[in-house]
A and B are shown apart, each in its own frame.
Chain A
Amino acid sequence: MNLDFNTPSFEVIRNEKKCINCRVCEQQCSNKAHSYDMKKKIFSANDVKCVNCHRCVVLCPVKALVIKKYPLEFRENANWTDEAIKEIYKQSQTGGILLSSMGNPKSFPIYWDKILLNASQVTNPSIDPLREPMETKVMIGGKPEKLEFNAKGNLITKMPPQVELKMPIMFSAMSYGSISRNAHECLARAAEELGICYNTGEGGLNKDFYKYGKNTIVQVASGRFGVHKEYLNAGAAIEIKIGQGAKPGIGGHLPGRKVGKDVSVTRMIPIGSDAISPAPHHDIYSIEDLRQLIFSLKEVTDYKKPVFVKIAAVHNAAAIASGIMRAGADAIVVDGFRGGTGATPTRVRDNVGIPVEFALASIDQRLREEGIRNQISLLASGSIRNSADVVKAIALGADAVCIGSAALIALGCHMCRSCSVGKCNWGIATQDADLVKRLDTDIMYKRLVNLVSAWNHEIQEMLGGMGINAIDSLRGNRLMLRGIGLSEKELNILGIQYAGE
């Protein structure tokens, strides 16, 4: 007999004294971790099925449930951790590539948390954003090398197309397919209300969502799903996806079981067919080829849409970014190794790529050294967790940031990291109609609006504290940053001084 060595990761603990047998937990769990014996009138829990998504815990009207880490431990071993052993059991049983969701959860350094911000004291007094103007609007797009004015002082240089963001935050690319229609609708409506943009990801765009066009970035990736002339012209900008922080160097793969009727329509592929995005774009083998794609997109949109190029943060990101600028892109999006995803091979997620803080700082530095930083926008993503991360990213050189995981958490994601299974109890990372409708778009989109508005207020407070009244004055302003607990090398790469210096 081939034994299943897998043991539960979580334990479902029910307080029998509190439980009123309402069976909400049972109905809410798509993983079927809870079951109720009608005759004996008792619940039992199948711990193996629990993914610790907290759906039952949150919805339990009497708060009778708690989920804990399963107490079973292997004999203590600093090298062969429980995780390392369990992964071997999984792979030796299935022969499969380990597949995970969301971003890299390992204990690599988080440089945001080793960077401290400045504030004004006495001189250059701080500004109170509640009483004084504080600009957080940014314009994303290519900029001319220099500006020319006529004798009357009017600008005569023709400005390339720009995307105006009322605050320096966008929602990251997440495809319809990886997330639900309702999740997409929340992102689109929130983007519209906030005056920012969301991003279609590589999944095409539902016709119902064309009305959010001026708040939409349409993505073109290697699979070219749902890409056609109308789609390219439907958004405020086009993003060419070369890479993603959670899976640098590899492609994507939406399994056929997630390609239902609606996903089939937006991706423009048959129902049930795998949607395979190859690792490379097969028309791009060089910077010159990238230029060819950038300009084919500009040609078909009459040069009215900025074209972004998104790459994963990798070792040579700075040189690649220089090439992207020279290929004619209007913005570079650099996605760090903590960036999330609906599904990625665990080994790639946990071992490939570099922290976005380093990639961002080195790209900004390189573009400045080459004298071209002013001609292109730079966006950073890959685990921006709060408004302080945003401020630090901008001071390291970003024009704006993109948030994915944070946005999903606002929608109810509890970071159980089981997206790829497609049974998301919160209606986010699923195509199951019964689960999707749990995400009430009218209510939930406002949580996104709340989150980003709150961050924007916090950004204004921090800016004001530094005596700065416009986000543009913070961009690349590394004097506002100091490192703590960092080596000389790390400080050099980040281009910042040590706290106290």
Chain B
Amino acid sequence: MKTIDALNIYYRELNNLIDNTIETEKTISLKNVFGQRYIGRGLPEKVKLKIYGVPGNDMAAYMDGAELEIFGNAQDAVGNTMNNGRIIVHGNCGDTLGYAMRGGEIYVEGNVGYRVGIHMKEYKEMKPVIVAGGKAGEFLGEYMAGGAIILLGLNFSKNGSIVGRFCGTGMHGGAIYLNDNANECMFGKEAVKVAITDTDIAFLKKHIDFYSETFKKDLKHLKIESFSKYAAVNKNPYSNMYCVY
């Protein structure tokens, strides 16, 4: 493993340095990261970055198979248009996490911001997954077209809501799983609560086990079968809106 000290290095130089390093050493530890953007952009399989500090916006944009582990919070647009790979954040994440993400997995220990998982897609065997330990802001899964978002709702006040308003607005694919019976008024009209199946439970268990192991949290008390699941009312939500002439 190679270590790079990112202190006072501009993002362009830092990302160049990472590109040059992975030619010989696939695992890199980045120390003193202070908001540098685009870390991990487009990185391929087998590359592993351990990031200490707070990486900047658009981390892992267009990422294509690399694994990033962040020991700290991450900012906005993590995993933007990500194709494949895995991101583990030991902290919270900002807004538009996983925007237009097409594949791969993102695990966030804590909370996530607004418009998380917006326009997430799936394609063939690629089914992206976002797992967050806490809660999410408004417009979670907006325009969601595929993949899965799982909110574990750990450590949030029972007076609050696990999701913000307009959850699943414009949703036309994918699934949102919540460890809570969130008030349905929080959801947009294109998302509907559906029954949870055995397949869902197995899927959730796999990801919850990974979360538990990764973040060293005992989650045996979670009742997976009582998670609620939301899906798109239909995959062509606007097909009857138009009058062609």
| Interface set of A (CB-CB < 8 Å, partner B) | 86-87, 90-91, 93-100, 222-224, 227-229, 232, 253, 255-257, 264, 268-270, 272-274, 276, 278, 282-283, 292, 295-296, 299-300, 343, 345, 418, 420-421
Contact = CB atoms under 8 A, between A and B. Distances in A.
A255 B96 contact: no
Interface in B9-45: 11-12, 15, 37-38, 41-42
A300 B235 contact: no
A282 B142 contact: yes
Nearest to B61: A296
B130 interface: no
Nearest to B118: A282
A256 B237 CA distance: 10
Given A90-B243, A228-B83, A292 B170 contact: no
Interface of B: 11-12, 15, 37-38, 41-42, 57-58, 61-62, 64, 76-77, 80-81, 83, 96, 99-100, 102, 115, 118-119, 121-123, 126, 142-143, 145-146, 170, 172-173, 235-245
Contacts of B173: 270, 273
A299 B119 contact: no
Describe A's contact surface by its main secondary structure: mixed
B146 A270 contact: yes
A269 B145 contact: yes
Contacts of B41: 296, 299-300
A240 to B, nearest CB: 12
B245 A98 contact: yes
Contact of A270 (B62, B123, B143): B123
Contacts, number: 134
Nearest to A6: B245
Given A228-B102, A229-B64, A295 B143 contact: no
6 contacts: A96-B241, A224-B119, A227-B81, A228-B83, A253-B238, A418-B244
A276 B123 CA distance: 15
Contacts of A224: 81, 99-100, 119
Contacts of A228: 62, 64, 81, 83, 102
A206 to B, nearest CB: 15
Describe B's contact surface by its main secondary structure: loop
B244 A421 contact: yes
A232 B172 contact: no
B179 to A, nearest CB: 26
A315 B12 CA distance: 36
Contacts of B146: 269-270, 273
A96 B58 contact: no
Nearest to B172: A274
B243 A91 contact: yes
A282 B99 contact: yes
Given A90-B245, A223-B100, A282-B96, A274 B119 contact: no
A4 to B, nearest CB: 13
Contacts of B235: 256, 270, 272-274
A86 B122 CA distance: 41
A100 B245 contact: yes
Contacts of B237: 274
A295 B122 contact: no
A420 B241 CA distance: 13
B215 to A, nearest CB: 27
A343 B239 CA distance: 13
Contacts of A95: 243
Nearest to B170: A276
Contacts of A296: 37-38, 41, 58, 61-62, 80
Nearest to A422: B244
Given A273-B235, A274-B172, A295-B38, A282 B123 contact: no
Contacts of A295: 37-38
Given A228-B83, A229-B42, A282-B99, A274 B241 contact: no
B81 A299 contact: no
A232 B62 contact: yes
| Nearest 9 Cβ contacts at the A-B interface | A96-B243, A224-B100, A99-B242, A94-B243, A300-B42, A229-B42, A268-B123, A256-B236, A299-B38
Contact of A273 (B142, B145, B242, B243): B145
Given A228-B64, A255-B236, A268 B245 contact: no
A276 B143 contact: yes
Contacts of B243: 90-91, 93-99
Nearest to B237: A274
A95 B242 CA distance: 8
A394 B126 CA distance: 46
A330 B245 CA distance: 39
Contacts of A420: 242, 244
A268 B142 CA distance: 19
A227 B172 contact: no
B134 to A, nearest CB: 21
Contacts of B170: 276, 278
A87 B244 CA distance: 10
Contacts of A97: 241-243
Nearest to A94: B243
Contacts of B240: 96
A76 B236 CA distance: 42
A274 B100 contact: no
A292 B57 contact: yes
A270 B147 CA distance: 12
B101 to A, nearest CB: 9
B167 to A, nearest CB: 15
Q: Which of B41, B81, B102 has the most chain A CB atoms inside 10 A of its CB?
A: B81
B175 to A, nearest CB: 14
Contacts of A274: 145, 172, 235-239
Contacts of A99: 242-245
Contacts of A345: 242
A93 B235 CA distance: 25
A224 B240 CA distance: 24
A416 B172 CA distance: 32
Given A228-B64, A229-B42, A268 B242 contact: no
A275 to B, nearest CB: 8
Contacts of A257: 239
A343 B240 CA distance: 14
B124 to A, nearest CB: 8
Contacts of B11: 299
